[in-house]
Amino acid sequence: MRLHLINPNTSTGMTTRIGESASRIAAPGTRIVATQPESGPVSIEGHFDEAISAVGVTEEIAKGERDGSDAYIIACFGDPGLMAARELTRAPVLGIAEAGFHVASLISTRFSIVTTLSRTGIIAEHLLQAYGFAHHCRRIRAAEIPVLDLEDDGDAALTRVIETCRRARDEDGIGAIVLGCGGMADLRATIEEAVGIPIVEGVTAAVKLAEALVGLGLGTSKHGDLAFPRPKSFTGHFAHLSR
């Protein structure tokens, strides 16, 4: 199967790291194609960044449809553009937050989220409510590191994340932790060894869920609100999206 992994930001280094993490966990026969939009924010750390990046996500979905992708993963914890992306394809489309929540709920009765910045915590809270996982999550904690520090100051950032995960383990009454950033994709095993409880990382979780959906022959329903968008014209910068 061809699994199209979309990093919604424009950091090439992060796209490479996310793609490598996905390839390591993928089953034999699964080809990971990791891409990013041509335009957009270099990191996603708020509502505005997400709004801009969502357009790039839909453009990457359109490219994937031309290339025959079997499934898609949106590799940002805010799941930007997820529902719009699902309208554009019959293939499964997974967001890493939703995937992480599902997997954590299968292995623990309660989990906490450890993310990068406090300002993104409200986005995670909204997603927990929208996806029906609010009662599973004990707390959303932030390591207070900018996303790009995971690349530019990796050792210090990892230390902060591990410290935050240990506090969650000791104080939150949980059985697992969900990492709240796609840029942490390659850190899961290291963090789990240091913390000693199950650590769920959304990119790798989404890879295995996507493989399962494709194996089951299941794709995005085109009956109801996820039907293909109605044909219409777009103007200005978005004229190329006309259908």
> Is residue 57 located within the same domain as residue 152?
no
> Is residue 105 located within the same domain as residue 91?
no
Q: Tell me which residues of the chain have a pLDDT lower than 50.
A: none
Q: Where are the alpha helices (DSSP H) in the chain?
A: 12-25, 47-67, 82-87, 96-107, 121-131, 149-152, 154-171, 188-195, 202-215
Tokens matching residue 8 = 């919604």
> Is residue 80 located within the same domain as residue 45?
yes
What CATH number has the domain bearing residue 69? Answer: 3.40.50.12500
Rounded distance, CA 136 to CA 133, Å?
5
The alpha carbon of 36 is separated from its chain's Cα centroid by a whole number of angstroms, namely 13
> Is residue 137 located within the same domain as residue 185?
yes
> Is residue 108 located within the same domain as residue 177?
yes
> Is residue 105 located within the same domain as residue 85?
no
> Is residue 48 located within the same domain as residue 103?
no
> Is residue 76 located within the same domain as residue 142?
no
Tokens matching residue 39 = 């335009």
Maximum Cα–Cα distance across the chain: 54
> Is residue 194 located within the same domain as residue 221?
no
Rounded distance, CA 123 to CA 10, Å?
20
Q: How many domains does the chain have?
A: 2
> Is residue 181 located within the same domain as residue 213?
no
> Is residue 90 located within the same domain as residue 101?
no
Q: Tell me what pLDDT residue 153 has.
A: 66
Q: Could you tell me the residue range of the domain that residue 174 belongs to?
A: 97-202
> Is residue 31 located within the same domain as residue 70?
yes
Reference 169, options 195, 205, 207; nearest CA is 195
